[in-house]
Structure 1
Amino acid sequence: MPTQNKDKYTAEQKKKAAHIEDSYESKGVSKGEAESRAWATVNKQSGGGEKKGGSGTKKPASAKSHDRKDSAKRAAATKHGAPRNKGGQSLDAQTKVDLMQRARGLNISGRSTMSKQELISAIRKAA
């Protein structure tokens, strides 16, 4: 059953719920069931009552832009063989396949014929 207090909802949400409720009632659904379905739909679509703040609302646009660029740079670096975090996994603990991918990202020539130890040496020299 829907809650009686709808103060936290915006006018748009209330209007949408009323429209949905009318639609259900015109299809023969009881008043209570129509109201329940209408508010369930509004909650599903908008996440409930009016929200104050939220994720990232206090961060200035310039900081958001900087963070997006920084994230893109990290993603590109990871794609090209850089470790995902600063500590990273030690080269000795990585598989040969991982080392090959990293060597490919560093454009190390002759990597396909190298042993695991040779790959580790080449990566350390290139990095």
Structure 2
Amino acid sequence: MPAGSSKKRERQYEHIKDSAEKRGMSEGRAKEMAARTVNKERARSGEAKSSSKASTRDPKSAPQRGGQRSHSGAQGPTRDQLYEEAKKKNIEGRSTMNKQELRNALGR
């Protein structure tokens, strides 16, 4: 946590870190994620001395988004992620499908 953080932000950091570790994330990665999340919330609320445009322009906070941006990068989910989804939906022939064919079979 950055020096001078409020008690609320310290509790928030610990809560996020502990939750991530319970989900199986490594301690180092959990600390990094918690720090980034708390720092972004500090920037959004005007508690930070400086902040990036991305931190302040986003209309929804990370908890409000609830994973909305997951796997929505330039190329979307990986072939393996699509395969796992197809497996859950019992789509036949999935093992021989490429990424585009899996997208089509899943209706994406």
Bigger RCO (CA 8 Å, 6+ sep): 1
Give the greater-gyration-radius structure (CA).
1
When normalised by structure 2's length, the TM-score is 0.39
TM-score, structure 1 normalization: 0.33
